[in-house]
């Protein structure tokens, strides 16, 4: 379970809250659509939920993010990642290793998961996302859509309780959109909580909860 309690936030250079006194809860299997115009705070909200704000990006933040009765403000980012993981809008900001296989192994290796289990996780996600042929490819040589799928796969191998997906469908072909949509539903059915930020109204087709960012802004 995730609880967002009375969260308010503004960047230091602004005088109004981008997010104002927001309270929300999500249970296992929930898929939450976060909708709003550009600049309305969708990415900011995701960054707050996973601790990137305030641990990396500063601002005036109040309130609490509670995961399974644990306040994440008391955890480091490496401690948060196995609980709550973020898929960024731009995959180049998320891929760090020379090959796809190395990228997918990094998260579970940090958790000291046995090698055989890591290999099994990689095999499974490559198969489900239909990217088995990318296993030994250099990440720098991938297309934008392939990079996005590999970034998502790297989160799946980590197996967090909560997935935060920032514009997961932006710039993708219909084929890749279908693959990611199917995986989102699968993860939710397996008990994960999924947040999807985006402009695409189609995300409401499989989301059971919606957050409208305009309702969170102080100026509204």
One of 3, 167, 183, 218 is an active-site residue; which one? Answer: 167
Query: For this structure, is 124 an active site residue?
Result: no
Nearest to 106 by CA among 124, 81, 127: 81
Nearest to 49 by CA among 9, 106, 101: 9
**What distance in Å separates the CA atoms of residue 28 and residue 7, rounded to the nearest whole number?**
21
Burial class (CB in 10 A: 0-12, 13-18, 19+), 189: exposed
The answer to whether the peptide bond before residue 211 is cis (omega within 30 degrees of 0) is no
Kindly list the catalytic residues: 167
């Amino acid at each position: 379970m995730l609880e967002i309690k009375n969260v308010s936030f503004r960047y230091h250079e602004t005088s109004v809250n981008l997010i104002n006194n927001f309270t929300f809860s999500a249970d296992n299997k929930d898929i939450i659509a976060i909708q709003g115009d550009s600049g309305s705070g969708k990415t900011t909200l995701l960054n707050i939920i996973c601790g990137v704000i305030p641990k990396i990006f500063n601002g005036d933040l109040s309130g609490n993010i509670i995961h399974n009765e644990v306040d994440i403000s008391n955890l480091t980012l490496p401690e948060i990642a196995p609980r709550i993981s973020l898929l960024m809008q731009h995959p180049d900001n998320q891929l760090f290793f020379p090959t796809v296989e190395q990228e997918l192994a990094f998260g579970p290796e940090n958790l000291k998961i046995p090698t055989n289990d890591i290999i099994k996780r990689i095999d499974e996600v490559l198969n489900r996302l239909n990217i088995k042929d990318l296993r030994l490819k250099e990440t720098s040589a991938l297309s934008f859509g392939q990079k996005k799928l590999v970034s998502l796969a790297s989160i799946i191998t980590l197996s967090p309780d909560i997935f935060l997906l920032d514009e997961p469908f932006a710039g993708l072909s219909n084929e890749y959109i279908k693959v990611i949509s199917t995986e989102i539903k699968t993860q939710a059915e397996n008990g994960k909580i999924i947040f999807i930020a985006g402009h695409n109204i189609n995300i409401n087709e499989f989301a059971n909860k919606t957050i409208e960012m305009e309702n969170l802004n102080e100026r509204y």
